[in-house]
Amino acid sequence: MKKMLVLSAILTLIASFVAGCNVATPNKIAADQYYVQIQGTGEMKDNRRFYTLPAYDEDGVEKKVTFSSVKSKNEQLQENAFLRLYVRQGNTEEIDILDTEVKSYEEVQKEDLPEKIKEKFGAN
């Protein structure tokens, strides 16, 4: 009886954890965060728009990142928008981040940027 109670409690905890996670969360787990500011229109390839921009981590360390967006009607991302990229880079010593290493991104408001990032983008 005690084993069934313990098993039920564990299954309930796991189910509540899974239900509480949003779909994009697995892409964000154990990922490094970099920030970019959208500049330009990007380049269209195979119904995807690719951007190559400078990206900064929370310490202000710069890397060059290439990532893609897929929007309806091949729309571009909003000019000057700030994005937080979730990156899983195989070799963290590399200064280039490849499109396949960018797992997810989300728009960030200027006031929510870390201070060092604001300085890098001149967004004080």
pLDDT at position 21: 53
CA atoms 122, 88, 66, 22: torsion sign: negative
Rounded-to-integer distance, Cα 92 and Cα 98, Å: 12
Q: Which pTM value belongs to this model?
A: 0.77
In tens, the pLDDT along 74-115 reads: 788 999 999 999 999 988 889 999 999 999 999 999 999 999
Domains and CATH numbers, the chain: 27-121 (2.40.50.480)
3 versus 75: which is more confidently predicted? 75
In this prediction, what percent of the chain has a pLDDT beyond 90? Answer: 59
CB-CB contact of 117 with 56 (8 Å): yes
User: Which pair of structure tokens corresponds to residue 38?
Assistant: 């959208």
